[in-house]
Amino acid sequence: MFILKETGERLNHRQAQNQLGISFPRDNPPPGLTIITPAPPPEPTPDELKQRQGDSVRRDANTVHEAPVTDAAGVAWNGGFDSALKIKSAADMAEFAGLADITLYDLNNDPHTVTLPEAKVVAATIGAAYQQQLGAKQAALRALRDIDPDAPDAKSQIEAVSFSGFHSTKG
């Protein structure tokens, strides 16, 4: 933003060039124009920082929830609560129908015909990974909640909390 000295009018870069009928670099205005430096935004409050950090924890957790899960046989499956629930539900429906096996589709959409107990193990494996990730997310959010916003080091405590700080990718 610029101020035209003779009128006090506030102009953006394009308006100032048009008004003066000349082109000039944004950081080097001609005489008669003064650059207005916007005030820096106010420092966020500890509660605002906690909210932002919590949002970051949730985003990171959601990304990990969708990560593939590899079972004991080395097959990679879609991760997440929904995937576990869908496989468990498909196994339950097959059992209700009196079937002995079911075809599941892995991360690459390749078919795997498995027994119903094997399908339930796949669902349990994916579900266990999700529960571990959920526990890490909830622990990080509890840690944020428990930070005293009036503590002298509240900002650094808040910034130190992350999903990865509570989540290990090692089994």
Centroid of chain to Cα 121: 29
For 138-164, the pLDDT digits (tens) are 999 999 999 999 999 999 999 999 999
Where along the chain do its domains lie? Answer: 2-35, 46-166
For 94-107, the pLDDT digits (tens) are 999 999 999 999 99
> Do residues 130 and 84 make contact, with C-beta atoms less than 8 angstroms apart?
yes
**Residue 113 CB: number of other CB atoms within 10 A?**
10
In the structure encoding, which two tokens stand for residue 82, read together?
Answer: 């929904």
Angle at the Cα of 54 from the Cα atoms of 50 and 59, rounded to 5 degrees: 150
